[in-house]
Homo-oligomer: A and B are copies of this chain.
Amino acid sequence: MTRLDELDDFTVEVPSWAYGNSGTRFKVFARPGVPRDPYEKLSDAAQVHRLTGLAPRVSLHIPWDLVDDWTDLRAHAEKLGVKIGAINSNLFQEDDYRLGSLCHPDSTIRRKAVQHHLRCLDVMRQTGSTDLKIWLPDGLNYAGQDSLRGRQDRLAESLREIYDALDDDHRILLEYKFFEPHFYSMDIPDWGTSLVHCLALGDKATVVLDTGHHAPGTNIEFIVMQLLRVNKLGAFDFNSRFYADDDLIVGSADPFQLFRIMAEIVGVDAHRPASKVNFMLDQCHNIEEKIPGQIRSVLNVEQALAKALLVDQDALAAAQRSGDVLGAHAVLMDAYETDVRTVLADRREARGLPRDPVAAFAASGYADTVAAARVGGQQAGWGA
């Protein structure tokens, strides 16, 4: 199992917003101990890395994570052993954005949305982040509400302004989403649309694939393969779904799908840092404990990758070449059916990490400590 050594430099980026309150449109359930500011979010996120060794970066979301002194926040992060990762812009929580942001029919609103990204670039410069992640919530609820095409043209123009403001080491990660928060159409509903814009923009624009943002039945690993093939896969937003953008723990709904995705990744060594693919989580924890949810998630990604690394590539290629349908499938399934939990626990132990990070977190008392300490103030949530 020597190829498992390639796990050594594999990392997952966790989102600051996973530690705040979240929910559905029906209800946001609050929890004791939820962070009230970016400092506390980073503290929580650092627990995940401390216990798994897998999550050394934390994505921020602007303006939710705005602070007065970025040098101080950065120092706080580094003291905790983590770094600031991708900067996420927020285009959905201003009243001005009711009918869109970068696609809005009114140029004043579009300008405001573009300006917001220029501020995000400033945050990137101060935090050392290189990834600007844009999830565009724009879309329509009714046929005829606005011009589908006009909105694409406005989008292209807005993105161009943002792109032109990038530093040399910056890149745009442009996300697509099938539906929600709009229901008749989204302005970037699929990977094809994201790719069209990235190709128009240039080399510094790449696609981010959120595993929960596809139509029912979509073969996601095919898209992973295709984006890698055209050199435009910038990042993942991992999570699980049964129906919509359910934002559940990655690997909890269809672990075989996650394995197949990682098998495409491994096939072209995209799990290695040189690929520059950023493996991020984008999940909400509505009813489950937040920090353990993130721990479980990064372990699930690692487990899927480990199994993918176990695929006997020679046997697979031979069976594929000979047209042995069941034989080739069996080679893949043999890797998937392998129980890697013990070998991964051994690896953790060898690196000074707990064999069972979830149990170690429970035993650490951290949850009780922060619940006791974080009294008063406003708990962070999607709206704060």
Contacts and interface: CB of A to CB of B under 8 A. Distances in A.
A105 interface: yes
A5 interface: no
A213 to B, nearest CB: 12
B217 A98 contact: no
Interface in A336-384: 336-339, 341, 358, 382
A248 B152 contact: no
Interface residues of A, number: 104
B190 A217 contact: no
A41 interface: no
Interface in A274-304: 286-289, 292-293, 296, 303
A326 B289 contact: yes
B26 A244 contact: no
A337 B303 CA distance: 10
A267 interface: yes
A320 B104 CA distance: 10
Interface string A221-240: 11101101110000000000
Contact of A218 (B22, B180, B215): B215
Contact of A215 (B92, B145, B215, B226): B215
Interface in A74-93: 92-93
Contact of A333 (B144, B196, B218, B286): B144
Given A99-B323, A179-B244, A264 B329 contact: no
Contacts of A257: 254
A329 B297 CA distance: 13
A223 B193 CA distance: 9
Nearest to A195: B192
A152 B337 contact: no
A217 to B, nearest CB: 5
Contact of A326 (B196, B219, B292): B292
A3 interface: no
Contact of A152 (B221, B225, B328): B225
Contact of A145 (B23, B223, B263, B329): B329
Contacts of A268: 149
Contacts of A336: 255
Interface string A114-155: 000000000000000000000001000111111111101100
Contact of A229 (B152, B216, B317, B338): B152
A30 B98 CA distance: 10
Contacts of A316: 144
A98 B317 CA distance: 18
A193 B105 contact: no
Nearest to A30: B95
A29 interface: yes
A326 B141 contact: no
Contacts of A142: 248-249, 252, 288, 325-326, 328-329
A226 B144 contact: no
A104 to B, nearest CB: 9
B217 A178 contact: yes
Interface stretch (A63-71, A165-173, A181-189): A181-189
A189 B219 contact: yes
A329 B222 contact: no
B325 A288 contact: yes
23 contacts: A22-B25, A25-B25, A26-B137, A29-B95, A99-B325, A141-B246, A147-B317, A148-B222, A150-B320, A179-B217, A184-B219, A184-B242, A184-B248, A184-B253, A192-B223, A195-B196, A196-B226, A214-B215, A219-B242, A254-B257, A255-B336, A289-B326, A326-B358
